[in-house]
Amino acid sequence: MTNPSSTWKTAQLGDHIDLLTGYPFKSKQYTEKRDDVRLLRGDNVAQGTLRWDGVKRWDAREYHRLAQFHLQKGDVILAMDRPWISAGLKYAWVRQEDLPTLLVQRVSRLRGANGLLTDYARLLIGSPAFTNHVLSIITGVNVPHISPRDIKAFCFRLPPLPTQRRIASVLSAYDDLIENNTRRIAILEEMARWLYEEWFVQFRFPGHEEAEFVDGLPKGWKEGTLQDVITLQRGFDLPAKQREPGDHPVFAATGLHGTHVEAKVQGPGIVTGRSGSLGTVTYIEQDFWPLNTTLWGKQYPLGSVLFAFFLLSSIDLKGFNAGAAVPTLNRNDIHTLPVLLPPKQVLRQFDEAVQPMFDLKRNLQCKNANLRAQRDLLLPKLISGEIDVSNLPLPGTEDQAA
């Protein structure tokens, strides 16, 4: 029996793609007003998703004038400066919640054309074959980059449209499950944060109705400094040539930065940016390696890592930038910040209430990791025609079929 993929034609991406690069918006006119329109820059492109922390915006009154650079749901996005980092290729696709958004220079928008579906183009860009293509042609010493011409030069095998739809539907089902779990994770995070604010900002902790207040504070609470809650320490060097993929996450100032075979710090713990990028605070369940661009929690005198995480997250760390050219956070500048110290009994109750939320969050993150691994294993086999997609079940339907 003839393999259906034997009829697939070899094609060049440039013949089947509508590629647009962004507009050179002037940084001095960026805003941070929530009513203005988000700008999609290279910093906002992660591995398979767009992230909007620290987003820059543009005057909303200019939006309609810049119609050429509007994005729409399903558009494929690829960073052209530093397109690949150790965490993977910086590509994503636009979801409804990402709109409205304007495309900035050095970021490309791709849409399928001439017999190539945009949903299938997304799979091509996310494939190992395209990553290998990018790694083979990246140019530039100070800022590695690729050009539209480089992107268009990628060669692939083009299936018929019905096959493209079927492959896209199978792999999109994985993405839908991952996205659903991600939304549940966000809800759990919001619930835990709300609980922190209720207990430690509004003083609505268990038994607050009967609590005696002295000088505006519940009896048993004290005034202290941040160092009474968490002692921050500079991270550790780990040259790129010494990094070997392993089970332990590596964290930089910008967040997760790959994995390593060794861990420097025992989890659970906290990291935040020390240089280059400030403001993000991350809670880490497992043993990890904090890079020297981070500060990490060496000690938690009150015994609650979760309380320290929410407290540190509530502080505007960017406001303590001590660097001129490079944003820098000096731990000594925040160690002395005045904070309220709840009794350890209240902290134990808080941990008991919040830890199950974090356990469920970790479980969902593990499910997502497994789904991503299954999808990533399947993707190259499908787009190469190695696996016939016609009878392949969607994820989550195997049990029903049995």
Determine, yes or no, domain membership for 5: no
Q: Is 396's pLDDT higher than 80?
A: no
pLDDT at 402: 34
Q: Average pLDDT of 296-320?
A: 96
Domain boundary pick from 139, 158, 177: 158
What are the tens digits of pLDDT across the range 316-346?
999 999 887 889 999 999 999 999 999 999 9
Q: At what angle do helices 344-383 and 128-137 cross, to 10 degrees?
A: 90
Domain end call among 324, 339, 357: 357
Interaxial angle between packed helices 305-313 and 161-200, expressed in degrees from 0 to 180 and rounded to the nearest 10: 100
User: CB–CB of 111/75 below 8 Å?
Assistant: yes
Identity of the residue numbered 21: T
Statement to judge: residues 140 and 280 lie in one domain? no
The model's confidence at residue 400, banded by pLDDT at 50, 70 and 90, is very low
Give the pLDDT score at 395.
75
What are 99's strand-pairing partners? none
- Checking if the pLDDT of 2 tops 60, the result is no
Q: Is 202 in the same domain as 350?
A: yes
Is residue 299, in this structure, part of any structural domain at all? yes
Indicate if 260 and 196 belong to the same structural domain: yes
Same domain, 189 and 320: yes
pLDDT at 393 over 90: no
- Clarify whether residues 148 and 280 are in a common domain: no
198 alpha-carbon distance from chain centroid: 28
What CATH number does the domain containing 235 carry? 3.90.220.20
| Strand bridging mode 231-234 / 281-284 | unpaired
pTM of the full predicted structure?
0.83
325: in domain: yes
Is pLDDT larger for residue 80 or for residue 391?
80
For residue 271, the enclosing domain spans 185-357
Domain total in the chain: 2
Distance of alpha carbon 1 from alpha carbon 8, whole angstroms: 16
Q: Tell whether 154 is covered by a domain.
A: yes
Same domain, 201 and 150: no
Which of 357, 372, 390 is the endpoint of a domain?
Answer: 357
In-domain check, residue 273:
yes
Q: Are residues 22 and 129 located together in one domain of the fold?
A: yes
Q: Give me the residues paired with residue 265 across strands.
A: 288
- Which residues are 79's β-sheet partners? 107
Residues 85-107 have pLDDT tens digits of 877 899 999 999 999 999 999 99
- Split at pLDDT 50, 70, 90, the class of 254 is confident
- Our measurement of the distance from residue 149's CA atom to the centroid of its chain's CA atoms, rounded to an integer in Å, reads 28
Q: pLDDT tens digit string along 33-83? A: 999 999 999 999 998 899 998 799 999 999 999 999 999 999 999 999 999
For the chain, what is the mean pLDDT? Answer: 92
Phi then psi dihedrals of residue 258, to 5 deg: 100, -165
Q: What is the pLDDT of residue 258?
A: 81
pLDDT at 401: 38
Residue 141 covered by a domain? yes
Q: What's the average model confidence in pLDDT over 124-144? A: 89
168 part of a folded domain = no
Distance, CA of 376 to CA of 348 (rounded, Å): 41
- With respect to residue 91, please indicate whether it lies within any of the assigned structural domains: yes
Domain of 54, CATH number, reads 3.90.220.10
Are 146 and 215 in the same domain? no
Report residue 302 CA to chain centroid gap. Answer: 30
Q: What is the mean pLDDT of residues 228-237?
A: 96
Q: How many CB atoms lie within 10 A of CB 196?
A: 20
Q: Are residues 76 and 217 in the same domain?
A: no
197 and 102 belong to one structural domain: no
Q: Do residue 125 and residue 226 come from a single domain?
A: no
What's the alpha-carbon Rg for the chain, to the nearest Å? 24
Q: What is the pLDDT of residue 388?
A: 85
Question: Quick one: 18 and 124 in the same domain?
Answer: yes
